[in-house]
Amino acid sequence: MADWRNRVDQICSKIKFQLNARGVDNLVQLKDVFLSFDRDGNGVLNQLEFEEFLSKLGVFLARQELRVVYDHFDMNKDGNVQYSELVAMLKSDMSNERLAMVKRAWQCLSGGAPQVSFESLVQRYNAPAHPRVTSREKKAETIMSDFVGLMGEKAQGGQISEEAFISYYAECNAVLPPDRD
Ligand SMILES: [Ca+2]
Ligand SMILES: [Ca+2]
């Protein structure tokens, strides 16, 4: 089974790379892509829908391989791939360097406080410096509104904790290919 684990990791990297190449770099967009393959509209992907999702991203698998890969993604073994399962599969652990970087950013933003108000975080978020903006692929306003939406979900009573801040970046990792780390 170690071989399969390896193969599944490879496929996950390829999916992330392909999504990134198509401009998908946050979970709002990932969910849109996921739902666009949900043909029968039941909110989850069956094997056929999942196969189409993979082949649209240039991942073509033999029938037996597809079955094994699908089985890995279907973590709760209910016969469907839920959006949360896709995120969980794609979300590999953050590298230590990246985690250290996120923690440094938090230190800098919070000045050592256990929480930072969501408002001040948004004020200090530097959307124009985002790589997709500097490369002119996206508008700063789009990056900003995605950030506000996703980080806003993590706010509790208008406050963001260090844990929430780190989990935001861990989830972003689901749409970040290793070489863009
Ligand atoms: Ca479906
Ligand atoms: Ca499932």
pLDDT at 181 over 50: no
Distance 7 CA to ligand 2 centre (A): 20
Classify domain 2-90 at the CATH topology level: Recoverin; domain 1 (1.10.238)
Decide yes or no: CATH 1.10.238 for domain 96-180. yes
Region of 112 on the Ramachandran plot (φ > 0 left; ψ -120 to 50 alpha; else beta): left
Q: Do domains 2-90 and 96-180 have the same CATH topology?
A: yes
* pLDDT per position as a tens digit, 90-142: 987 778 888 898 999 899 889 989 999 999 999 888 888 888 888 888 888 98
pLDDT at 158 over 60: yes
With tokens 């496929």, the residue in question is: 11
Distance 90 CA to ligand 2 centre (A): 15
Distance 159 CA to ligand 2 centre (A): 33
Interval 79-88 mean pLDDT = 94
* pLDDT per position as a tens digit, 25-42: 888 899 999 999 999 999
**Do 141 and 26 contact (CB within 8 A), yes or no?**
no
Looking at all shown ligands, the one closest to residue 77's CA atom is: 2
d(CA 160, CA 114): 9
Record the pTM. Answer: 0.74
d(CA 61, CA 84): 22
Domain boundaries, the chain: 2-90, 96-180
Residue 133 is which amino acid? Answer: V
Which pair of structure tokens corresponds to residue 28? Answer: 């709002």
Please report how the helices 162-172 and 140-152 are oriented relative to each other, as an axis angle in degrees rounded to 10.
Answer: 120
**Do 116 and 110 contact (CB within 8 A), yes or no?**
yes
